Chain A
Amino acid sequence: MVITALPSIASMAGATRVLRGIAITNPVGDRSLTREQEVELRRAITERALTMLETEFSRRSVWELKPGEATTTP
């Protein structure tokens, strides 16, 4: 699976499991947060990445970070 802030490019290039990252310069971090908050964010992103790996997909899919947010299929 791929974590990137540019999910449409990853999908066009053929990636099948894509998770939207935070930013181009820091896909799995956010320097505006406190250290503790950022570590927690990164743990949550990585946890979501693992969930994508263990999920069966029939089509190429892009997930947002929060489970409740829209899931799109390009």
Chain B
Amino acid sequence: MKVLHYVNQFFAGMGGEDAASTPPVLIPGAVGPGRGLGLEISATLACGDDYFAEHEDDALGQLLAWLDEARPDVLVCGPAFGSGRYGYACGTLAREAFRLGIVSVCGMDPQNPGVLAAQGKAYIVPTSANVAGMRDALPKMAALTVALAAGEDPSAAGPFLPRHVRRNAFAAETGADRAVELLLAKIAGDTRSEIPIPDPGRIPPGPVLDIAAATIALVTESGCVPRGNPDQLPSRHARSWHRYAIDGVASLSPEHYESVHGGFELGAASEDPNRLVPLDALRQLEASRRVGTVHGWLYTTTGNGTPVAAAALFGQAIAAELNEEGVDGVILTGT
């Protein structure tokens, strides 16, 4: 069994934040937490968290080249616990290693953005949010690594986060029988689903303190685009989002805007796209000084058949842009 291990600069013993800009290094054998895995680690890959975040293409290029050369049975990443940058590097590296045909085991807190970055392409052992969970995490990651290297069923080797992989299986009863059973249970007060929806457990962000001086952006998943759909936003399974300048635009007129969403009937939207995005109303409230400024860009995508994990990545990217541009609050309309 050949195992490689990825850690950040801190767990590689290179230093703390002062060493976070260290480019990737290849270290023979096990380092730091790798020694606690109880596995034979042939080499450790390490990279500074900031370097990975700021030079992702370069960092990935080097790390993947080493991985491709070594061709391990399993790549172990972390555990990163609640560390966002470290977790992001682990999840991203695991996802890209998957494209090379290399399976990965990560460890991180379920809320770590690295979980989304991995896009279901890694086996992620849920850990505590801080390093106190090291002793609990390492044996679980090791057990999963051994099972995967041996080609055994990983689900028998311990818990890992959902990978959003659906497999066909035969059920004892037909869908009609099961649906009726679920409906009767719901009427009796027992609401269940065959497809569990994870509770992201978020708490609301703080309020906009002075909305009369605030910049408010409009974002939508209603497929609202300039007429003619200049960027070819698809009607379903969108893989991108776009933004369109609305500086000086008083209203989303049907002459100039439309929706290309394929998930609902477009009659009402075609007559008046303001029914999807309330630009005309927000302009009135801007004129009456109820709100400071309407942000100069409308952000849009089609939310139709989009996995929550993919939509969350769109949201994160859009939020990062809006943050950078000094937007204080967002009105997002959903269809």
The residues of B that contact A61 with a CB separation of less than 8 Å are 204
Q: Is the CB of B159 closer than 8 A to any CB of chain A? A: no
In the complex, residue of chain A having the shortest beta-carbon distance to the beta carbon of B332:
A2
Partner of B203, one of A16, A24, A55: A16
Smallest distance from the beta carbon of A60 to chain B beta carbons, Å? 6
Task: Quote the shortest CB–CB distance from A65 to chain B (angstroms).
Answer: 13
Contacts of B199 in A (CB 8 A): 12
Q: Which residues from A are CB-within-8-Å of B311?
A: 13
Complex interface: chain A residues within 8 A of B264 (CB): 24-25
Cβ–Cβ < 8 Å partners of A23 in chain B: 268
Within 8 A of A (CB), among B157-188: none
**Which residues of chain A are near B330, meaning CB under 8 Å?**
1
Task: Provide the bound-state CA to CA distance between A54 and B209, in Å.
Answer: 6
How many residues does chain A have at the interface if contact means C-beta atoms less than 8 Å apart?
41
Please indicate the chain A residues that have their CB under 8 angstroms from the CB of B197 in the complex: 12-13
Q: Please tell me if the beta carbons of A16 and B207 are within 8 angstroms of each other in the complex.
A: no
A17: which B residues are within 8 A, CB to CB? Answer: 204
- Contact, CB under 8 Å: B269 / A28: no
* B329 close to A53 (CB less than 8 A): yes
Smallest beta-carbon distance A40→chain B, Å: 9
Complex Cα gap A44–B169 (Å): 49
Distance in Å: Cβ of A70 to nearest Cβ of chain B: 18
Residues in A21-74 with C-beta less than 8 Å from chain B = 21, 23-31, 38-39, 42-43, 45-47, 49-50, 53-61
Flag if A10 contacts B334 (CB, 8 Å). yes
Please tell me which one of the listed residues A10, A45, A50 contacts residue B216 in the complex, with CB atoms under 8 A apart: A50
Interface contact B285-A47, CB-CB below 8 Å = yes
* CB contact under 8 A between A26 and B334, given known A47-B285, A54-B211: no
Known contacts: A13-B200, A53-B207. The answer to whether A3 contacts B331 by CB under 8 A is yes
> A54 to chain B: which residues have CB within 8 Å?
207-209, 211
Known contacts: A27-B276, A46-B281. The answer to whether A53 contacts B334 by CB under 8 A is: no
Check if A25 sits within 8 Å of B268, measured CB to CB. Answer: yes
Knowing A25-B266, A29-B268, say if A59 contacts B275 (CB, 8 Å): no
Cross-interface CB contact of A4 among B268, B277, B284, B335, cutoff 8 Å: B335
With A and B bound together, what is the CA distance between A10 and B268 in angstroms? 22
Nearest chain-A residue to B209 (Cβ)?
A54
In the complex the two chains form, is B207's CB within 8 Å of A46's CB?
A: no
* A59-B334 in contact given A26-B269, A50-B290 (Cβ < 8 Å): no
Are B269 and A25 in touch, CB under 8 angstroms?
yes
- In the bound complex, residues from chain B placing their C-beta under 8 Å from that of A30 are 275
Tell me, yes or no, whether B189 is within 8 Å of chain A by CB.
Answer: no
Q: A2-B332, A24-B335, A53-B216 are in contact. Are A46 and B278 (CB under 8 A)?
A: yes
Task: Convert B225-267 into 0s and 1s, putting 1 for each residue whose CB lies closer than 8 angstroms to a CB of A.
Answer: 0000000000000000000000000000000000000001111
Q: Is the CB of B200 within 8 A of A50?
A: no
A66 to B211 CA separation, bound complex (whole angstroms): 20
Min CB gap B253→A, angstroms: 13
CB-based closest 7 A-B pairs: A29-B275, A4-B334, A16-B204, A14-B200, A26-B275, A57-B204, A46-B281
What are 6 A-B contacts with C-beta separation under 8 Å? A4-B333, A25-B268, A26-B268, A28-B276, A28-B277, A42-B280
Q: A2-B334, A21-B334, A28-B276 are in contact. List 5 more A-B contacts (CB 8 A).
A: A2-B332, A25-B335, A45-B278, A54-B208, A60-B202
